Structure 1
Amino acid sequence: MEDKHVREKFYKTSEKELIFTQEDRHVVFEQIRTLEKKDKMQKKSLFSSPKRLAPLTVSLLAIGLCLFLFIPSIFVGTGNVQNELNKSDISGDAYQDDAILTTLITVKAKTEDNRIPLNLLLTYSKNKKMMKVLSIPSATYAPIKNMDGTTSNDKLLFAYAYGLGGAENVKATVSKLFNLPIDYYAVIDLETFSTFIHAVNGIDYDLQEDTRVRAITSVAFDFQKGTNRLNGEEVVALMMAATDGRNLSEENLLHLIHAVSNKMENEMPEEQLKELLSQIETNLPLDQLLEQNLEIKSIESLSLSAGTRDDMIDGKYYVMFEEEYLKTVAEELLIFN
């Protein structure tokens, strides 16, 4: 009952009002540590056990949305931006000259002051046809550029709206956080994503138990054990919950991606797909995106939960990471065996 009381406290507090007293801080973090202890008992390495999906070959035209959202596009004749990486920044044998491309996928809530609740960092090996996915917590303490060129740390959640603002600023923030060049970005409004999901009559998804997760435009979502028909915001909310693995196991991130991919491939009309894709803010050329095919032998999900530290700064809650830990994660993103 006490755990439930603490979670209720989170859900009934907006981001703008998320300020705690010293007593609140002690109670909340004690509960978080208790929950994390149970999770970490099952962890055997620096990262949570990687989850992989079976090999697949996809058509960007047939499944354009989910590829645009979740899979980096590989363009024939496009220069390899990864060559710009300063190899001395990556220690040992971590860096591989393996035609690795990086993509940042961001979901933006326009009605919530352009906050960005979901950020997926992907790396793809063109030679080995393998991809890695990393979901970054929205409360991550991150360096955001200001209008005058200086940098201030705040939640990644605000990188689109604050400072210099926009998609380029989100890309620069994540790149600086991991000291890793990012080739491409795509920012999609939550409303547009919801339109995609509505067009295919929602996503059916099985949950192993009753689950409550924090929502974006409302307080929270309550899901029952078994099959749930999800709308766009519910899909994103479950992905957010799977990012830290507290309310929902981390393996759900890839399962949700797979569920969206299958539905889009089978049910999204081509003309509607093209129209909705044109609403995405990106540095990827749409005409090339729709012409390519991409073969993926495996998709692996990495986790940041083993290095997560919850902290308070000036009465506000943040997710913190040590610089060395993030460097190790960046190296792992570039290794394809």
Structure 2
Amino acid sequence: MENSNENLRRKKELRRPRPQKKQGCFTLGLLIFVVLALVAGSYLKKHLATAKQTAADIYQSTDTKKARNVDAILKQNKPVSILLLGTDTGALGRTFQGRTDTMILAVLNPKQKTMTVVSIPRDTEVAVFGYEQYFPSKINAAYAYGGAKTALKTVQKYLNIPIDYYATINMGGLENLINAVGGLDIKPLITFSYDNQSFTKDQTTHMNGKRALAYVRMRDDDPLGDYGRQARQRQVLTKLAFKSSKLINLLDDGFLKTIKSQISTDLTFDDLIYLGTDYRVATHHMKSYSMQSSTEVIDGQDFEVVDTKNKQAITDILRAALDLEPATTGSTLASDNTIDTQAKD
């Protein structure tokens, strides 16, 4: 474990330019698959003890009060929000607590049978919750500063959206998961080469974990930049969702042991049961959005700045998906940390 001086040094380095090698991963897909495995009748009966132990092993509380009563929300079958964090811990030999190179906010609405997914640019300019003295910061620094708790509170305040749960996965997780489902057939959105892998637009190719990881990592050569990378992330995520039923048959105790070292979440075993049963229908239809931003150079660094109009549009989408009353979008520089949780009548 690194000492406090080393951790402080890393925090200060967060504001320096970093190499442009990017990563992406899909906590949502992994989380859904684990849920399905845990609740599948025959699997659960046969491996109940292992399933419960796995849930206990991946559970990690944020030790903070939620914006609303999440237990009541689940039991009442109301829409829930999950912040999905893809970290670069474990990537490129890293062992320290990494940044979140992927941040996705997902809302599961079982009554509408809809999953609303919003990708948040990793370089979005914010004041990190509890670390406002480092403003301006990039939103991917929130996890490195204070873990999932800080990332959750920063995004929550930024959009004025209650976030009910979080889940993280390190970079090793996506590759192993895709290999576990036997790979994916993907039709590339653009032609490019990256990490010794080549892809041709509209030419369907079978991707194992390594190849798929290269497909979603590339950003610099995409004409759409990070927006293009986010589109490829959502493309692979959708394919993974379609293969979830096959994954149930592939899961075994060895696979679960691998998962335990790659994922963490504040969803309990009972929470997972609720999601895997009452909320499973929400995955039938996915609505995907990306926050629209402009690149600005601040203190010598490139930041993605989202104007109030575009940020308000995302807040409106998410609050509607959560069946909440409309409200003004948030601000990480505001002194008030209260999140509006008023539900529609």
Asked if TM exceeds 0.5, the reply is: yes
- Supply the distance in 1 between the matched residues of 2:287 and 2:297 (Cα, whole angstroms): 32
| TM superposition shift of 1:304 | 1.8
Check the 8 A contact 1:175/1:182 in 2, yes or no: yes
1:61 to 36, 42, 45: 36
Which aligned runs of 4 or more in structure 1 are off by greater than 4 angstroms? 239-242, 249-253
Match of 1:246 among 224, 242, 250: 224
Aligned: 1:119 with 2:103: yes
Shift of 1:124: 2.1
> CA 1:131–1:240 in structure 2 vs 1: closer, same or farther (change >3 Å)?
farther
- Quick check: 1:80 aligned with 2:73? yes
- Report percent identity of matched pairs: 21
Offset at 1:335? 2.1
CA RMSD in angstroms, aligned pairs only: 3.7
**Pairing 1:310–2:317 present:** no
**Which residues of structure 2 form unaligned runs of 5+?**
1-15, 21-31, 40-54, 56-69, 324-345
Q: What are the ranges of 5 or more consecutive residues in structure 1 without an aligned counterpart?
A: 1-13, 19-56, 69-76, 84-97
Cα distance between partner residues in 1 of 2:180 and 2:87: 19
Report if aligned partners of 2:127, 2:134 keep a CA contact under 8 Å in 1: yes
Number of residue pairs matched? Answer: 249
Q: Does 1:255 align with 2:255?
A: no
**In the alignment, which of 254, 257, 267 is matched to residue 275 of structure 1?**
257
Partner of 2:126: helix, strand, or coil?
A: strand
Q: 1:281: Cα distance to partner?
A: 1.6
> Aligned pair in 2 of structure 1 residues 17, 107: CA closer, same or farther (>3 Å)?
closer
TM-aligned CA distance change 1:299 to 1:208, over 3 Å: closer
Say which of 311, 323, 327 aligns to 1:326. Answer: 311
Q: 1:303 to 1:239 in 2, by over 3 A?
A: farther
Q: Name the structure with the higher strand share.
A: 1
Counterpart contact for 2:104–2:118, Cα < 8 Å: yes
Deviations along 1:81-140, one digit per CA (max 9) or x if unpaired, are 8x9xxxxxxxxxxxxxx9331111111111455021111101122322221001111111
Confirm or deny: 8 A CA contact 1:109 1:189 kept in the other structure.
yes
Tell me the TM-score normalised to structure 2 length.
0.60
Q: Is 1:298 the counterpart of 2:285 in the alignment?
A: yes
Whole-Å Cα distance in 2 between the matches of residues 232 and 168 of structure 1?
Answer: 30
CA shift for structure 1 position 331: 1.0
2:299 & 2:271 partners in 1: Cα distance? Answer: 47
Q: d(CA) in 2 for partners of 1:132 and 1:240? A: 24
Amino acid at match of 1:332: I
Residue of structure 2 equivalent to 1:198: 179
